Structure formats: structure tokens, C-alpha cells
Chains A and B, each alone.
Chain A
Amino acid sequence: MKRIFYMENCRMMPHQSDERDDCMTYWPDMERIDSSVADYVLTMMEDYDCERYTAGDVENALAHSTASAKDLGALLSPAAAPFLEAMARKARELTSRHFGNSVALFTPLYIDNHCENSCRYCGFRGGSQIRRRRLLAEEIRQEMEIIAESGIEEILLLTGEVHTEEYLEYIGEACRAASKYFRMTGLEIFPVNTAGYRYLHERGADFVTVFQETYDIPRYGELHPAGHKRVWPYRFYAQERALMAGMRGAGFAALLGLSDFRRDALAVALHVAAVQKKYPAAELSLSCPRLRPVVGGSDIRAKRVEERDLCQILCAWRIFLPFVSITLSSRESAAFRDGMVRIAATKISAGVSTGIGDHAKKYGGGRTFTSCQAGDEQFEINDSRSFGDIYSALAKAGLQPVVNDYIHV
């Protein structure tokens, strides 16, 4: 019997969207869950005026043993900039208390770059002139083998967005293959319904990351003109659906620079806090991507987020959410990543290629696919160190690299 991952009516009438659609209206195939988390996050974000805070508010926030939402607002404000060193010291103390000197390592694996969406900032968007590739099952296994040989035990599988049952099964098979090579399989794929997440969980995935991109809804609508991704609330509730489906944990992020980064940084942290309250057993993580140049990129009026800003955001998040894992991707430079793992970041990627089928070429000792060329990369990476190099750098800095902190039960 064929599994039904989407509601029946969606397959009867495929929905074609365009910018005339309201990005807050669910499509028929999209599951709605009973949750008021979005109302809370959006209200708090609307009320946030980063210019309102004073140095005194920042000092108070740093003096509190636990940080409130108001403290978070102060720590993310321009008034906190002169306190960056004090914030870093507090962040480091909290990171050390909750995580010791451990830094977890993982590798992302892009298995497909076909995509129905048209996100204006993304190299994989539908219609862009890039080389498209969907790895075959055998190619996925080959890539996984190369990654596993490096010593990595946690994999993050990434795709574009394609809403068919066959495609979900394709991802499910990739999860099943991953469980043979890795201890932990995470997913960074398009949002699906609870039934879809349950199916992927049964295939071995246990962690779901979804980037909300921006919590600024008008801006979100502007940047996501078509495809399922256009629907903001369906994306917003993806992590909750994943947890309801039995996933152990969930990851959150805003793509900083798409809108006011302080408001997005506030919103995503409050999103995590609210989900933690609702699902206290869940293991949650935050990522902090900044916009990077993309293949075929266009002018999207991106706002610049400097390293100093990003450092402030990570410190504020750590002080507000001391128990949450913070992931730093290879979009950032080696120097920045090496510095931030001493302060707030607890998980970094290693041996990264954002192209499709690229691990064989980059890290496979000359092994390449014979079937065809690799697909283009989604964005340029800034830290291309191998797993071994990053491992050595961490150990040299007195940190303990951790390749596995997970048990499938």
C-alpha cells in the first residue's frame, strides 16, 4: 500500500502559487497544528525597538543569573556593542558549564539541488541557470562512504524542495543508507507534514533543521514569490511537527541580513525558547547563517551583518539559551569559527562541500562520479578545512572534538 504523506486533496489539485497569494495562507496539502507560538514570537518581535535600550539595561542583563526576553532584547541592541567582551566572557562561562569544552562535528551532504521555490537570494532556486543534479542511490552511498572514512559520525542531509511522495521516499532511502555509515542523521529539507516526518524518523532521521529565513513577514513574502516555501506559517511550525512525529531534536535559524538582523535574531531565539517550553525533552539548536554570495545571485537589498554583529548575536543567544546547541557553518571563516567555539558555538561542520556529488572530488582522493558532472554549489563556503584539519585545530585550542554524542533508541 502506498503511504500518504500529504492530504488527499493536494494530489487531486496541485497548487500553483504566485505573488498574488497571501504568504500567510496555508495550501490545501499543508497540515495545520494547534499552536500559538507564532503569535507570541511575532508580538514580541513587533514590540522590539532595539534603540530603546541603554547601557544600564545591558549591565542589568549581564548581572542576572538567568536572562529574560527583555534581557535578550538589551543584549542584541546597539547599546550592547561596547559590552561585547563582557558578553563573550559570560557566554563562555555558560557554554563551559553546559557543554564543557566539547565541540561537536558534522558534515552536510547535499543530495539534490532541484527546487520548486524561487527564493530570490538562493543559488538553488527554480529557474536559475545552474547545473542540476540529483544523486542516485549508489552515488549517495559513495559520498557517504567518503565522508564516513574521514571519521565523521554525524551527517546532515540537504535537498531542494520537491513535493511528491516519490521524492520523500527518495529522502527516506537516503536516511536509511546514512544509518549504515553514521551514528546520527539530521535533515535540512523542506517542511513536510507530521506523517512525512514520522516516515523519515522511521527511516533513521532524528533531527530536523528548518531555517525560517526571516520572521519579517512582508519581507518574507517579497523574497519567496513562489513554491510551497512561500507559506510562512507552514514553515514556522515545521519543527513542532517534526517533534510531534517523534524526532529527538530540531534546529532553528534566520538567514541574517535578509531583514533587520537584530529583530530576526530576537525572534528566532524566542521561537526556540517557546518550543522548548512546549516540548521540554527536545534537543534544540540554533544556527546563524549570514547571506553569502550565490551562483546567479541577484540584488536583494541584503543588509550587511559584520562579524562583530554576529559575535554579539551568538553571545546574546548563549546568555539567553545556555542549554541550546549553537551551530556555526562553513559560511564563516576559519578564524571566526575558531574564535567562536571558545565562546558560544558548540557544533561546527567539517569537510564541507555544498555542491552535489562534490565530496568524491574534494575529499575522495581523486574518486569522481563517471555518470555526469557534479551539481553547482548553493553558496560559497569560507572554511574549506577538512575534518582532520578542524579536528587538529580544536584539539590544539584545548577543546574536545566530539564526533558522536548521540544514541538511537
Chain B
Amino acid sequence: MDDELNLGGRKFCSRFILGSGKYSLELVEAAVRHARSEIVTLSVRRANTKSSENIKNYIPEGVTLLPNTSGARDADEAVRIARLAKELIGGETTLIKIEIMRDSKYLLPDNYETVKATHILASEGFIVLPYMYPDLNVARDLVSAGAAAVMPLAAPIGSNRGLVTKDFIRILIDEIDLPVIVDAGIGRPSEACEAMEMGAAAIMANTALATAGDLPMMAEAFRYAIEAGRMAYLAGIGRVLSRGAESSDPLTGFLRG
């Protein structure tokens, strides 16, 4: 059975999107290999360099770059960074992760500006993956604006605190007919697994790997957790009894006919 992640027509076998901004560039290749990841994010502000330390040079062949608009404070800036990303990366890729933050302290996404940027960039042909705070109304607006997926945060970025917004992500999974990629805050493979069991389409992680004792090994652990969660979701998770065993004597046994 083919179980591919479909992002605006681009298909991927891996459901693990790797961040790349918080660890040494030399480790990117090993992280990708152990994660078996097919998508690696790339901060345009970092890639916008003349130096040999350009992160583009460290991304293994065949891996799709997912540029993000980190540094954008409103829709207009995000749109300009996205267009620059297209120039920098070239080729046929038009994937873009929209990140718009008006707060340097918590780095929470600005949902309102994100909808505006999504609308503009989707109409320009980008495959738009917006990073968002999990709000159902906004997610619906993002669908209408032409997003190819939604990327709700699980917890404040960099916090490794896990599925803090679990209930709201579950609502998005239930209601939104686009891939829901859980982004930011996932700290452990077990949390990634849980999100995948819930029906998340993919997981994006960065800090969880960067702060691990052994980055490549943690990348591998995430890979297995994500695969296990996905399989469990596809298999259909059995019911959970809330209190003790269920009586085999049906309560409705008195009904006739």
C-alpha cells in the first residue's frame, strides 16, 4: 500500500520534516540519513549568504528544501522573503513554509498575517505550508486561501514541552481536509508518535534533535516513532475503556424485537 504524504501534488514517503537551524551544519547530513527524512527546512535569512557556510551546501542530494520565511513580521515581508527563496533555491521547487512572528520573545505565529500571505503566495503558484497557532477558524481560512497543509504548533517553539495544544490539533485533524503537520514544541519521540496516532500527517522537529545528547540517534528514534504512530493510525486504534471491564450483559437487553 502506498502511504504517501501529499503536499500540493508533491509526494513524499517520509513523514518526518527536519529543521536545520539549531545544530552544526556538519550534522545535517547524518541527521537526514538517520531520520530518512525527505524534507529539510531552510531559513532563507541564513541561506542568504555568500559564505561557504551556506546551509544549502550541506543538504544531501535528493532532499527537498523547505524554505521558511523566518524573520518576517507581516504578510508583506513574508511574501518578499518567499520570492527571494524562489530565486535562491531555483529549480522547480515552490514549497514555502510561512512563518510570521510579531513577537521576538515567544515567537508565536501571527495567524491573521499568515492567512494574508498564504492567499498571495498560493495565487503565485507556491505550495504554501503555513505555521500557525491551532485555531479552527484560521485553519479554515487557510484552506480557502490555498494552503497545501497547515502546520499547527504543539507547544511554544523550542520548548520541547510536547503536545500542549493536543485538543486543538485534534480538532484540526477532524475538521480540516488538508495534511496537518505538527510543528514546534515536540520534544520526545513518544510525543511525535502520539500526534501521528491522532492522525497528524507529519511531524516537524528541530530543537528536540539539537538538544539531544546524540543527534543522529535521536533523529533515528523520531523516525521509528513517527512510522509507528502512522502505522497505528492506519491500523485503527482500539477503544479504551474508561472504567474497568465492560459487562457482557447488555444494558439494552430488555428491549424486545
Contact = CB atoms under 8 A, between A and B. Distances in A.
B122 interface: no
Contact of A409 (B22, B71, B160): B71
A403 interface: yes
A140 to B, nearest CB: 20
A398 B24 contact: yes
B53 interface: yes
Interface string A11-22: 000000000000
Contacts of B72: 409
B101 to A, nearest CB: 7
Given A100-B210, A400-B24, A153 B49 contact: yes
A151 B54 CA distance: 12
Given A280-B105, A281-B73, A281-B102, A100 B207 contact: yes
B141 interface: no
A281 B101 contact: yes
A96 B25 CA distance: 15
A274 to B, nearest CB: 12
A395 B107 CA distance: 27
Given A400-B25, A403-B53, A406-B71, A282 B104 contact: yes
A153 to B, nearest CB: 6
B2 to A, nearest CB: 35
A403 B55 CA distance: 11
A96 B107 CA distance: 15
B45 A404 contact: yes
Interface in A258-294: 276, 280-284
Interface string B71-104: 1110011001100100000000000000001111
A282 B51 CA distance: 26
Contacts of B84: 407
Contacts, number: 83
Contact of A101 (B24, B103, B158): B24
Contacts of A399: 24
B46 interface: yes
A100 B23 contact: yes
| Chain A interface size range | 20 to 34
A27 interface: no
Given A100-B207, A280-B104, A407 B44 contact: yes
Chain B binding site: helix, strand, loop or mixed by DSSP?
loop
B191 to A, nearest CB: 16
Contacts of A401: 53
A283 B104 contact: yes
A245 to B, nearest CB: 15
Contacts of B206: 100
A405 B71 CA distance: 9
Interface in B34-52: 43-46, 48-51
Contact of B81 (A183, A402, A409): A409
B45 A405 contact: yes
Contacts of B24: 101, 395, 398-400
Of A276, A399, A407, the most chain B CB neighbours within 10 A belong to A407
Contacts of B49: 153, 183, 403-404
A47 B22 CA distance: 39
Chain A binding site: helix, strand, loop or mixed by DSSP?
loop
Interface residues of B, number: 36
B142 to A, nearest CB: 22
Nearest to A283: B104
Contact of A97 (B45, B106, B159): B159
B26 to A, nearest CB: 8
Given A102-B21, A102-B22, A323-B104, A404 B210 contact: no
A400 B210 CA distance: 12
A323 B105 contact: yes
B211 interface: yes
A274 B63 CA distance: 43
A151 B160 contact: no
B105 A276 contact: yes
B158 to A, nearest CB: 5
Contacts of B53: 400-403
A273 to B, nearest CB: 9
A336 B105 CA distance: 27
Contacts of B23: 100-101, 400
Contact of B210 (A101, A276, A281): A101
Interface string A78-107: 000000000000000100111111100000
A154 B132 CA distance: 31
Contacts of A282: 104
Contacts of A97: 158-160, 207, 211
B48 A404 contact: yes
Contacts of B106: 323
Given A96-B211, A403-B53, A409-B80, A281 B158 contact: no
Interface in B108-148: none
Listed from nearest, the 10 A-B pairs whose CB atoms lie closest are A100-B22, A407-B45, A404-B49, A280-B103, A409-B77, A281-B102, A97-B158, A400-B24, A281-B73, A100-B210
Given A403-B49, A407-B81, 4 more contacts: A96-B210, A153-B51, A281-B73, A406-B45
14 contacts: A93-B211, A96-B210, A96-B211, A98-B158, A100-B21, A101-B24, A280-B102, A281-B101, A281-B103, A403-B49, A405-B43, A409-B72, A409-B76, A409-B81
